Structure formats: C-alpha cells, structure tokens
Amino acid sequence: MSSIASGLKGRAELGVALLLGVAGVVVFVDASRLNITYSQTDPVGPKTLPYIVAGLLIVCAVFLAIDVLRGGKGEAEAGEDIDLAHPADWKTVLPLVGAFVANILLIDWAGWVISGTILFWGSAWALGSRHYVRDALISIGMSVATFYGFYLGLGIPLPAGLLKGIL
C-alpha cells in the first residue's frame, strides 16, 4: 500500500468534503451563467443567493477537509433501535429503490397521481405494511392531495399524464 493511501485510510469524510466542494463550484459556475433580462434596479439581484450558497458549500468543504486531516471523525449513529453490527436489510432497500425508480420512469408518461400512488404504496409495502387496500387508498389520497397542493398552493403544475383532462 502506498504512503498516500495508508495516510488516507479511515478518512472517508474527505469524499464528502470533495463532494461539497464540487457542488459549490457547480453552483457558482451555474450562477455565473444566469442571464439577467431586466433592469438592474434591485441591489441584490438573482445571482446573490446562489453565490452565497456556493460560497458556503466551499467553506464547509474546506473546514470539513481540515477537520478530517487533523484526525476528526464523524460519530456513528447512536440510535436505540439501530444495531450497527447488522448489515443493510436489502429486502427493504431494493423494493424502496424500485418504487423510486418506477416513479422516475412513470411520472412524465403516467403522471404524478399514478406514479406517486405507486411510489407511496410501494414504499409502504417495502417497509412492511400488508394492508394492501388501505395503503392503496391512502396512497391515492396522498397523490391527489400533493398534486393539487403543488398546483393550487404553490402554482407548480405536476404532470397529469394519463389523467390529463380529468384532474
């Protein structure tokens, strides 16, 4: 093992610092490319907040990297219902991932209400609920409520998909 690799052993948090730094640079570059199409009478402008976020991401990345290189380590999760000695429960994780992937693949074609219902029902099933009809009814209600909540409350139209003209 090389001296660099042995010196970095046990310092996986450097990957998180790198990710934060890259995210900060991406936000900064993206903010610098914003086109301002109105008169600049506003002293703050639309670029200010993204620049602040980018700067904070980069500062956090630098501080985290310094802390890790000085020997700092993140603490393991200390939950009373979590046994860190056991491996991940793939019988739960894989169906959850499947529900999220199905939502991603179906949302444009089938619409939010259908894909969201599959997401909510699949998540409940993956987490152990076996009340299929009740879960389906709750999932439909949640999907319709979030559809209209986004549309009426926030002014953000979610895709209607197959239910276009009905919703």
- Own/partner pairs for 140-148, CB < 8 Å, 24+ apart? 140/113, 142/116, 142/117, 143/112, 143/113, 143/114, 143/116, 143/117, 144/113, 146/112, 146/116, 147/112, 147/113, 147/116
- Provide the Cα torsion 42, 22, 88, 123; round to 10°: 30
Joined tokens for residue 129: 């609920």
Joined tokens for residue 144: 């319709």
For the chain, domain boundaries: 3-69, 90-163
Per-residue pLDDT of the chain (167 residues; tens, 9 = 90+): 455 555 555 678 899 999 999 999 999 999 999 887 766 666 677 788 899 999 999 999 999 999 999 888 777 666 666 666 778 888 999 999 999 999 999 999 999 999 999 999 999 999 999 999 999 999 999 999 999 999 998 888 999 999 998 98
List the one residue out of 141, 151, 88 whose CA is nearest residue 117: 141
Distance CA 73, CA 15 (A): 13
